[in-house]
Amino acid sequence: MIQRFMNGKLYPLFVPLISVVLGLFFGALIMLAGGYHPILAYQSIFESVFLQPYYTGETIRTMIPLVLSGLAVAFAFRTGLFNIGVEGQLLAGWFVSVAAAILCDGWPKILLLPLSILAGAAAGAVWGLIPGFLKARFKVHEVISTIMMNYIALYTTNYLIKHYLYTEGERTPTIPDAASLASATLSHLTQGSRLHWGFIVALLAGLLMWFILWQTTRGYELRAVGFSPDAAGYAGMNVGRNILLSMTFSGMFAGLAGAMEGLGTYQYMMINPAFVGIGFSGIAVALLGMNTSLGVFLAGALFATLQTGGLTMQSEAGVPIELINIVIALIIFLVGSSYIIQLVLNRLAKRGEKR
């Protein structure tokens, strides 16, 4: 039985699914141990996110940058690159989109909004291109260089805000309406949530990633290089150029994630004392989503649900929000150790076969 299942089409879905179920289960055990009521806790999450429009709206809003970050990580991973630099690319995109919007104040919306979004995407792309270039040209490992690029992005954006775009409240001025993704309609529909049009950008980005990877010759090359740089080189592909491009596309998705925060959720950029963390969550989202567009959406939805619902869980079930972070961490841990899960499954299958 296990054997047949393992050879089946659904098998790849198994690890993420079982990780989620086990993560929720162990989370429940920890709640019990802490004297909390797990069923009540999960129920309150569920009820708020699915039955209260405000929380539904907030969940989707949280999802937008998570999904875009996840796409960024997944895209690079398809080319065999581990982009830890999504966080920095996101900050670069956030800042440049906001700065572009403020600097070009007075332009009509039809120009200014696309310009600001594209400016953010371009900034992220450049921030990804640099480590891509270092890897392709000098074989500098992308994990090291992207981590350094994260710090450079954090401190540079803070510096630029402080010296050139500062306003009261440790932040930039608010962007002009013409550059804003916020929507009174959406907000009204969701009883005052900060849901904005960025979800369309996220959807388009997901489609774009799928299209590039699976429908274009470029994507074919990127995946070939990801699976086997040697064979790709033997087939006449330019491995270095593909590495560079992969990091650039990846950075572009991350830059979009930043633009969504700047133009949608906040309408400005604040001075960040530390990393915002969305870029790092993107790694988990991509991992759980198995580096596919659809998977990244589902994983993003799950994490957003837990994060947003966690707030009501605290108020209604009296369970501290930290517990939700534990559940999220558990799920990530379980997916990460999927190797072990697969090993156990293989064992079980073997034993079944022996009998």
Partner 1 sequence: MSYAIEMRHIRKEFPGIVANDDVTLQVKEGEIHALFGENGAGKSTLMNILFGLYQPDAGEIYVKGQKVKISDPNEANRLGIGMVHQHFMLIDKFTVAENIVLGSEPTRGGKLDMNQAVRMVRELSDRYGLDVDPLKKVEDITIGMQQRVEILKTLYRGSDILIFDEPTAVLTPIEIKELMDIMKRLVREGKSIILITHKLKEIFEVSDRCTVIRLGKVIGTVNISETNPSRLAEMMVGRKVRTPVNDTPYAPKEKVLEVKGLTVLDNRKVPAVRQLDLEVHGGEILGIAGVDGNGQTELIEAIAGLRHVQEGQIKLNGQDITGRRTRKIVEAGLGYIPEDRQKHGLILDFTISENMVLQTYYRGPYARAGVLNHKVMARKAKQLIQAFDVRTPSEKTLARSLSGGNQQKVVIAREMDRSPALLMAAQPTRGLDLGAIEFIHNQLLEEKQKGKAVLLVSFELDEILHLSDRIAVIYEGRIMDIVKPKETNENELGLLMAGRKEARRQA
Interface residues toward partner 1, by CB under 8 A:
3-4, 7, 214-221, 223-224, 227-228, 230-238, 353-354
Nearer Cβ to partner 1, position 108 or 236? 236
CB of residue 14 to partner 1, shortest distance in Å: 18
CB of residue 144 to partner 1, shortest distance in Å: 25
CB of residue 288 to partner 1, shortest distance in Å: 21
For 182, the 3-state DSSP assignment is strand
CB of residue 215 to partner 1, shortest distance in Å: 6
CB of residue 137 to partner 1, shortest distance in Å: 17
Phi then psi dihedrals of residue 270, to 5 deg: -95, 165
Phi-psi sector, 171: left (phi>0), alpha (psi -120 to 50), beta: beta
| Angle, alpha carbons 71-13-330 (nearest 5°) | 75
Nearer Cβ to partner 1, position 109 or 137? 137
CB of residue 224 to partner 1, shortest distance in Å: 5
Q: Where are the alpha helices (DSSP H) in 273-337?
A: 278-288, 293-312, 322-336
Nearer Cβ to partner 1, position 25 or 214? 214
Nearer Cβ to partner 1, position 3 or 174? 3
Nearer Cβ to partner 1, position 77 or 94? 77
Residue type at 215 in one-letter notation: Q
- What Cα–Cα distance (Å) separates residue 20 from each residue in 280, 299, 317, 329, 337? 19, 10, 21, 11, 13
Nearer Cβ to partner 1, position 106 or 236? 236
What the block records as the tokens of 148 is 């350094």
> For residue 33, what are the contacts with CB-CB under 8 A and spacing of at least 6?
none
| Angle, alpha carbons 115-202-177 (nearest 5°) | 40
